């Protein structure tokens, strides 16, 4: 790995997106500074340890630190702007209680960068990578940068909006192999600088680069996530319909639909709904933003409404099989919002467990990695097992909430031998109904009754 001289890159916010971006550039030999207010986070990064689990990241981070391509600094936005040519802003944009986004961290990053630009003679480009609603870069970031620096955007410094499309669990791979790069720019010069950087970064396999306005770039990110969320709520709607139609099976419907190239096979897995730190927040924010612009986004409201009800179907299935849930032992397999992560933000299991507890069930849960996260949410309200088999022991019903590979390996006999009564609710369609239906009381999302 040879250290490239130009351009030098800084990243403000060393969270998920920020760290993957910083390590992505550093791993290709760029000189990168990652800046965060959290001292503990920066200490870990400087010792080569990521603050979250992401396949492939640890190795590239420690290599980049050792080679001197990446360093973490606490605070000091003025220093990192001074030392570098381009600054990516990857700070959090949490939801406010009404669903709209909280821009506090964006505003404060813009204010610090603006102050730093006052002392800078060379042309510096600020790039917003955080997910922000249309209009934010132009109407919040640009004025803040100009006010604090007393300089002119497009003349003295540059400004771009460059959304990320990283998935948890493959975020590092998504950084180094993107489907597309979206560059919204205030002016041509700013966009050209960023385009040159990406063309160099992706040498040999440059993905399509979309050049556009700041607002369009901001909307592309939301539209992409809202489309994927809508695809999920759509297939869940078809799943719910299938359950009423004798002989229908949503899995077969989705497979056949997905073969139509206009539809595509991905994100058509019916289940208990979408969770995580992105889809729920982004759909809400896009609804709030659309309303603020004067358009009632009915389709997105339905996407959200379907997703809100979907997890509770697991509890309905339990009740249909067991009658009252009072005192019943209900086992949950899978707590994380999706497999291969310990993240439980907006995990669909949260409303399921809350409802089971409300109806008096005793809840036992197991997840290969998310138990510490679950403990911080449910504490002693539920019990935790150290394996799937221990969890289902003497259970009255078992619900598959997250499709971990480990659960796919369980056989009908495992359930029959361990449970008090083998009532299995397959919330993620991981088992073959042909095999399971004959051996136990098997109910699954999107599976109609026998004709
Ligand atoms: C999502 C997007 O996929 C990324 O492109 C985007 O960059 C990211 O949000 C973000 O905005 O930062 P992520 O939240 O990591 O990525 O997770 P996904 O793999 O998209 O899954 C989201 C949820 O949808 C999970 O709860 C998953 O179980 C659910 N899902 C996914 C389904 O229920 N069915 C499917 O067919 C696919």
Domains in the chain: ranges and CATH: 9-212 (3.40.50.720), 228-444 (3.40.50.720)
Q: Which atom of ligand 1 is nearest to the CA of 266?
A: 36
Going by alpha carbons, the residue nearest to atom 36 of ligand 1 is 267
Q: Which residues are within 8 A (CB) of 5 and not within 5 positions of it... i.e. 6 or more apart?
A: 31
Q: Which of 314, 278, 304 is nearest to 401 (CA)?
A: 314
Q: Residue 144 corresponds to which tokens in the numbers above?
A: 């803040």
Confidence of residue 2 (pLDDT cuts 50, 70, 90): low
DSSP string, 306-361: HHHHTTHHHHHHHHHHHS--TT-EEEEE--SSSTT----TT-THHHHHHHHHHTT-
Helices and strands counted in the chain (H then E): 20, 14
Radius of gyration of the chain (CA): 24
182 Rama class: left (phi>0) / alpha (psi -120 to 50) / beta:
beta
82 CA to middle of ligand 1, Å? Answer: 37
Q: Quick one: pLDDT at residue 54?
A: 86
Taking CA atoms, 414 is separated from 249, 251, 292, 369, in Å, by: 25, 24, 53, 21
87-109 core/surface letters (b: 16 or more CB in 10 A; e: else): bbbbbbbebeeebbbebebbeeb
Q: At residue 4, does pLDDT exceed 90?
A: no
Pick from 132, 169, 225 the residue to mutate for probing ligand 1's pocket: most ligand atoms within 8 Å of its CB.
225
Task: Give the model's pLDDT for residue 115.
Answer: 96
Residue pair 352/332 in contact by the 8 Å Cβ criterion: yes
Closest Cα partner for 399 from 307, 315, 309?
A: 315
Confidence at residue 5, expressed as pLDDT on a 0 to 100 scale? 57
Q: How far apart are CA 25 and CA 15, in angstroms?
A: 15
For residues 95-117, give the mean pLDDT: 93
Give residue 79's pLDDT. 92
User: Is 278 a residue of the active site?
Assistant: yes
Please give the mean pLDDT across all residues of the chain.
95
Q: Which of 276, 277, 400 to mutate to test the pocket of ligand 1 (most atoms within 8 A of CB)?
A: 276
Task: Return the H-helix or E-strand segment holding 194.
Answer: helix 188-201
What SS3 class is residue 450?
coil
The mean pLDDT value for 185-205 works out to 97
Residues with CB under 6 A from ligand 1: 164-168, 225, 228, 232, 267-269, 271, 274-276, 278-279, 337-338
What is the distance in A from the centroid of ligand 1 to the CA of 403? 13
- Looking only at the bridges linking them, the beta strands covering 157-161 and 181-185 are antiparallel
What is the per-residue pLDDT for 190? 97
pLDDT at 63: 97
Q: Which atom of ligand 1 is nearest to the CA of 338?
A: 28
Question: Are 12 and 77 within 8 A, CB to CB?
Answer: yes
Are 239 and 313 spatial neighbours (Cβ–Cβ below 8 Å)? no
Q: Give CA–CA dist 52/43, Å, rounded.
A: 14
Residue 283 has pLDDT above 90, yes or no: yes
Which of the following is catalytic: 278, 318, 391, 398?
Answer: 278
Q: Which atom of ligand 1 is nearest to the CA of 403?
A: 28
Distance between Cα 58 and ligand 1 center (Å):
22
Could you tell me the CA-to-CA distances from 36 to 40, 61, 90, 362 in Å, in that order? Answer: 10, 16, 10, 42
C-alpha torsion 152→153→157→161, nearest 10: 160
Tell me the HSE value of 133 on the side-chain side, using a 13 A CA sphere: 20
Percent of the chain scoring above 70 in pLDDT: 99
- Ligand 1 centroid to residue 280 C-alpha, Å: 10
Instruction: For Cα atoms 330, 367, 419, give the angle at the middle one, nearest 5 degrees.
Output: 35
pLDDT at 99: 81
Q: Which atom of ligand 1 lies closest to the CA of 428?
A: 33
Query: For the sheet containing 124-128, what is the strand order?
Result: 70-74, 32-36, 9-12, 86-89, 124-128, 157-161, 181-185, 209-212
Residue 379 pLDDT exceeds 70? yes
Cα(348)–Cα(145) distance, integer angstroms: 40
Atom 34 in ligand 1: which residue has the minimum CA distance?
A: 269
CA of 257 to the centre of ligand 1 (A): 20
Token pair in block for residue 52 = 């979250």
- Spell out the SS3 assignment of 235-273: HHHHHHHHCCCCCCEHHHHHHHHHCCCCCCCCCCCCCCC
pLDDT of residue 52: 84
Contact in structure between 419 and 394 (CB atoms under 8 Å): yes
């Amino acid at each position: 790995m040879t250290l490239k001289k130009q351009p030098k890159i800084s990243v403000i916010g060393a969270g998920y997106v920020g760290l993957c971006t910083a390590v992505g550039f550093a791993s290709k030999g760029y000189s990168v500074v990652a800046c965060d207010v959290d001292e503990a986070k920066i200490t870990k990064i400087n010792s080569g340890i990521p603050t979250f689990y992401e396949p492939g990241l640890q190795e590239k981070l420690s290599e980049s630190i050792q080679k001197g391509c990446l360093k973490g600094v606490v605070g000091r936005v003025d220093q990192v702007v001074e030392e570098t040519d381009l600054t990516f802003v990857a700070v959090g944009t949490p939801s406010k209680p009404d669903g709209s986004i909280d821009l506090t961290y964006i505003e404060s990053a813009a204010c610090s960068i603006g102050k730093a630009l006052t002392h800078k003679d060379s042309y510096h480009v600020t790039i917003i990578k955080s997910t922000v609603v249309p209009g934010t870069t132009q109407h919040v970031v640009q004025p803040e940068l100009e006010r604090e620096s007393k300089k002119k955007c497009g003349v003295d410094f540059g400004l771009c909006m460059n959304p990320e499309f990283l998935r948890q669990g493959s975020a590092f791979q998504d950084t180094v192999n993107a489907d597309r790069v979206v560059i919204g720019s205030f002016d041509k010069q700013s966009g050209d600088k960023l385009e040159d950087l990406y063309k160099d970064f992706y040498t040999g396999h440059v993905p399509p680069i979309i050049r556009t306005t700041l607002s369009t770039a901001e909307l592309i990110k939301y539209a992409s996530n809202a489309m994927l969320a809508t695809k999920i709520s759509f297939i869940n709607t078809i799943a719910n319909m299938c359950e009423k139609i004798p002989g229908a099976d949503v899995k077969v419907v989705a497979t056949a639909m997905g073969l139509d190239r206009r539809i595509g096979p991905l994100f058509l897995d019916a289940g208990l709904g979408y969770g995580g730190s992105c889809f729920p927040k982004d759909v809400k924010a896009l609804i709030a933003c659309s309303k603020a612009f004067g358009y009632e986004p009915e389709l997105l409201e339905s996407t959200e409404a379907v997703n809100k009800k979907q997890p509770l179907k697991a509890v309905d299935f339990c009740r249909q099989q067991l009658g009252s849930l009072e005192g019943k032992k209900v086992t949950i397999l899978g707590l994380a919002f999706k497999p291969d992560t310990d993240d439980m933000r907006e995990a669909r299991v949260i409303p399921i467990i809350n409802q089971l507890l409300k109806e008096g069930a005793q809840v036992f849960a197991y997840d290969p990695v998310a138990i510490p996260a679950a403990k911080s949410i449910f504490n002693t309200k539920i019990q935790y097992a150290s394996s799937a088999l221990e969890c289902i022991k003497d259970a009255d019903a078992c619900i598959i909430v997250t499709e971990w590979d480990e659960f796919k390996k369980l056989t009908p006999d495992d359930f029959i031998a361990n449970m008090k009564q083998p009532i299995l609710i397959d919330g993620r369609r991981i088992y073959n109904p042909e095999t399971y239906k004959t051996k136990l009381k098997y109910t699954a999302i999107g599976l109609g009754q026998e004709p």
